[in-house]
Structure 1
Amino acid sequence: MARVRYVGPEPVTVPELGRAVEPDEVVEVPDGRYEGYVCQPANWEAVEEPRPEEIETAALPLRKAARPQKEG
């Protein structure tokens, strides 16, 4: 998650976070919503940008075990 600081003059309720944010408070926001905060420089400033998307290690499909070779 990314982090931003609220630089407004008085507390503000942020429905997305489900609570009020105090002036000069640093809060975590979803990476996908980070730009929605920092595009408002009168209210928010960047603290920690979203991390580059890590390579997701998708679960590989399970392979059936090889059949044992018949000796003979």
Structure 2
Amino acid sequence: MARVRYLGPEPVTVPELGRTVGPDEVVEVPDDRFAGYVCQPANWETVEEPRQQETEAAPLPLRKAAKPQKTEG
């Protein structure tokens, strides 16, 4: 899970988290919802970005094709 810090001056209720978040409080948010918080830079700041899952790892390098066999003829 990713972590963000609330920058607002007063506590705010965050229904997605099911709780109230206070000023300067760091909370964990679902990785797939991280962008929805940090796109509001006046209210939230990044503390820890989501970790890339293994399924999102860099693609495997391409393999070279085998050389064709010579035929006698």
Alpha-carbon distance in 2 for matches of 1:29, 1:41? 15
* Alignment partner, residue 39 of structure 1: 39
Normalising by structure 1, report the TM-score: 0.74
Runs of at least 5 residues in structure 2 that lack an aligned partner in the other structure: 56-73
Runs of at least 5 residues in structure 1 that lack an aligned partner in the other structure: 56-72
> Root-mean-square deviation (CA), in Å?
1.3
For 2:47, the aligned partner's letter is V
For 1:12, the aligned partner's letter is V
Alpha-carbon distance in 2 for matches of 1:11, 1:22? 4
What is the Cα deviation at residue 54 of structure 1? 2.4
* Alignment partner, residue 26 of structure 1: 26
For 1:26, the aligned partner's letter is V
Q: Give the fraction of aligned pairs with identical amino acids, expressed as a percent.
A: 82
Normalising by structure 2, report the TM-score: 0.73
Aligned length: 56
| 2:8 paired with 1:8 | yes
For 1:24, the aligned partner's letter is D
